[in-house]
Amino acid sequence: MNQKPSNPFDSLSRRGFLKTSAAGMAAALAGQGVVFAGSAPRKFRVALIGCGGRGNGALGDCHEAAKVLGVELEVVATADWFKGKAEDTGQRYGVPASRCFGGAEGYKRVLEANPEVVLMATSPNFRPVHLMAAVQAGKHVFMEKPVAVDPPGGRKVIEAGRLAKQKGLAIVAGTQRRHQGSYLRIHHQVAQGAIGSIAGGAVWWCGGALWYQTRRPDESDADYMVRNWVSFTEMSGDHIVEQHVHNIDVANWYLGRTPSSALGFGGRARRRTGNQFDFFSIDFDYGDGCRIHSMCRQINGCDGDVREFFKGTEGETWGDGGLKTSKEISVPDFPNRGPYVQEHVDLLRSIMDEKPINEAENVATSTLTAIMGRISAYTGKLVRWRDIMEVEESPYYSLTLKPTAEDFETGEVVAPPDDVAAVPGSERRSRG
């Protein structure tokens, strides 16, 4: 593997370099270890929607990225369903309480607080509505994966991504692996033909059970669903979407396309709350005879695996290493920093460089791929990509999980019953 020597100017395009303001240029060079005395660093006004574990993590990662780039960050507003959580995060970053918002419409108030970049880390059911509003308001976005729970939601994210492109806005998604050096190096070689054409493979996310919350006697359906979102398909998309999307995204990325259909199965064995499955096994047909098996499970006490494997006509590889090839392909420098921070470095740098990254379509199509697999497992039917993307008469095209994000805003939330899951091959909750 030939590595090119590192050049501090590599990451700055000529056009972007010439257009960057003196301060921005100094900041970018500071990120490469070059510092000019006396120049004011570029400042980003940032806001966060969804102040839970990942939201707070993303804000920290964004601060780390700012340090790498030598720029400043000001957190101008926060929003969470629970106002207290927005205030806790806000307090840590010096945000006045008047700009820490609660409730279903807090995201609208955040957009009014004039941020330049908005970080989104609520449960994924809200993402399509929040993203569209942010793009319409002219904001750059970092959004956590997955980005929808049903086909109309996924298509809305694609639409928002196209609008962002027209407006020159950046959108980076938290799919991580597309910003991770080990994956970028293997992907580069696979794209250059290191293993010939990919003929088949497998992707896994098999691990233990996630956390869950039980219902409090006095709480509303909406509060319960927000607190226990990882147990309800309507909030998370189920774990094939919520967690396994990482590996499914690698398959779509390495193959450069989405599957034409999915046929799979799954079941519920151990969960106590909500309506999700515990395991899925899906056969994704990518056309040209190429099939990728996807397997995910969240059950304690079982063997686990989180990775991706591809067999090509001229070699084979794991997603992030173990490449077997007879070809010598030179590999450019890719970052070695952890992907959580690198995502924000790439986002902020792309804004400074006036070359906005736009990952909306990638993450939306990977989310939709996982949704297609889930629908097949819930119904027991073969589901085609065109059923969710093109054929308006298909019941899957318009499949909308309720309560929707809009229902949370209008206060019309009725929680589905706990422990009633889809029954494949039957009409009972098998809609997908």
Ligand X SMILES: NC(=O)c1ccc[n+]([C@@H]2O[C@H](COP(=O)([O-])OP(=O)(O)OC[C@H]3O[C@@H](n4cnc5c(N)ncnc54)[C@H](O)[C@@H]3O)[C@@H](O)[C@H]2O)c1
Binding site for ligand X (CB under 6 A): 49-55, 79-82, 85, 104, 106-107, 121-124, 126, 144-145, 174, 176, 226, 242, 408
Residue 344 corresponds to which tokens in the numbers above? 């924000």
Q: Could you tell me if residue 256 is left (phi over 0), alpha (psi between -120 and 50 degrees) or otherwise beta?
A: left
Beta carbon of residue 67, minimum distance to ligand X (angstroms, whole number): 21
In the chain, % helix, strand, coil (3-state, to 5) comes to 40, 20, 40
Q: 56 or 317, CB closer to ligand X?
A: 56
Least CB distance to ligand X at residue 227 (A):
7
Contact, 342 vs 180, CB < 8 A?
yes
**CB of residue 340 to ligand X, shortest distance in Å:** 7
Give the Cα separation of 86 and 107 in Å (integer).
11
Of 149 and 348, nearer to ligand X (C-beta) is 149
326 DSSP 8-state letter: S
- Minimum Å gap between C-beta 52 and ligand X is 2
The pairing of beta strand 198-207 with beta strand 72-79 = unpaired
Between residues 81 and 183, which has the closer beta carbon with respect to ligand X?
A: 81
| 143's tokens | 């959004």
Smaller CB distance to ligand X: residue 59 or 73?
Answer: 59
d(CA 190, CA 196): 8
d(CA 361, CA 342): 20
By beta-carbon proximity to ligand X, the closer residue of 121 and 195 is 121
The nearest distance, CB 60 to ligand X, in angstroms, is: 12
Nearer to ligand X, 177 or 185 (CB): 177
Shortest distance, position 129 Cβ to ligand X, whole Å? 9
Residue with tokens 């994000």: 405
Q: Which DSSP state fits 3?
A: B
CB nearer ligand X, residue 203 or residue 226:
226
Give dist(CA 318, CA 286) in Å, integer: 18
CB-nearer residue toward ligand X: 24 or 403: 403
**To the nearest whole angstrom, how small is the minimum distance from the Cβ of residue 54 to ligand X?**
3
For ligand X, the closer CB: 70 or 128: 128
| Cβ neighbourhood burial of 112 (10 Å; 0-12, 13-18, 19+) | exposed
Q: How far is the CB of 35 from ligand X (least distance, A)?
A: 32
Q: How far apart are the C-alpha atoms of 219 and 235, rounded to whole Å?
A: 17
The pairing of strands 315-318 and 321-325 is: antiparallel
Q: For ligand X, which is the closer residue by CB, 124 or 264?
A: 124
Q: How far is the CB of 196 from ligand X (least distance, A)?
A: 31
Phi/psi at 31 (nearest 5 deg)?
Answer: -65, -25
Tell me the HSE value of 394 on the side-chain side, using a 13 A CA sphere.
19
Using Cβ positions, the residue closest to ligand X within the complex turns out to be 52
Which is closer to ligand X, CB of 44 or CB of 232?
Answer: 232
Task: Tell me how far, at minimum, the Cβ of 245 lies from ligand X, in Å.
Answer: 8
**Contact criterion met (CB below 8 Å) for 191 and 317:** no
Q: How far apart are the first and last CA of the chain?
A: 45
What are the beta bridge partners of residue 279? 267, 297
**Closest to 202 measured CA to CA, from 317, 279, 288:** 317
CB of 333 to ligand X, least distance (A): 24
Grouping H, G, I as helix, E, B as strand and the rest as coil, residue 184 is helix
Structural contact between residues 144 and 121, judged by C-beta atoms closer than 8 angstroms: yes
